[in-house]
Amino acid sequence: MIKAKEEKQTIEDIVRDINMNGFSIAEGVIPEDKVAEVREGAINAGADEFARVAEERDKSRAQGHIIGAEGVDQAKGLINLTQVFAPYLMHEKILGVSEVIFGPHIRVIWTSVLINNPGTKRFYWHADWPYNQTNASHIPAPYPDVIMGLASIWMLTPFNKETGGTLVVPGSHRMNNNPSSEGIRGIDR
């Protein structure tokens, strides 16, 4: 549903989008004048972790695991390294939506910084945990039609088709399989 600019996006709008499409774009969670500060804080906090994570990733790849794309810097547990983005986790469009879907006792289970460096090639189509069939810990397909987790992706740099924005298949959250198991006809991993 396209809203007039003067209408405020509500929690109900976001929850409806998630239920219908499997995702929603919640604008304004981080004020425009704070985005650069959050981006730089995340990059600086993760800098020491990038090499360590890359070494772990290389060991996993050597064992045959399909993990991460070349050219991507990653730091896990970002909230332990910096709280620059923590106030925005409390924004109603994040916390409020989570509480509508899961109730008052929600839990953040991971925070990571991922940096797709210039020239990074697109990674294979996949699903995030717990659905990714290439992970040891996963729910086997076919999946039940229930929301088991929410992920938020915070775009802190221009994020679009030309710069390598995330691709989604609207409605795929209702499918009982995903491309990580090569189980959806017509979707090329």
**What tens-digit pLDDT sequence spans the chain (189 residues)?**
445 455 799 999 999 999 999 899 998 999 999 999 999 999 998 888 888 888 888 888 888 776 767 778 888 888 888 999 999 999 999 999 999 999 999 988 888 888 887 877 777 777 777 877 777 788 888 888 888 888 888 888 887 777 777 777 788 778 787 766 665 666 666
Task: Flag whether the pTM goes above 0.85.
Answer: no
Query: What is the CA angle 87-104-166, rounded to 5?
Result: 55
**What pLDDT score does 5 carry?**
52
- pLDDT given for residue 148 in this prediction: 85
Buried b / exposed e across 110-149, counting CB within 10 Å, b at 16+? ebebebbeeeeeeeebbbeeebbbebeebeebebeeeeee
- Dihedral sign of CA atoms 52, 119, 159, 180 in order: negative
Residue 174 neighbours by CB under 8 Å, 6+ apart: 22, 145
The residue type found at 15 is: V
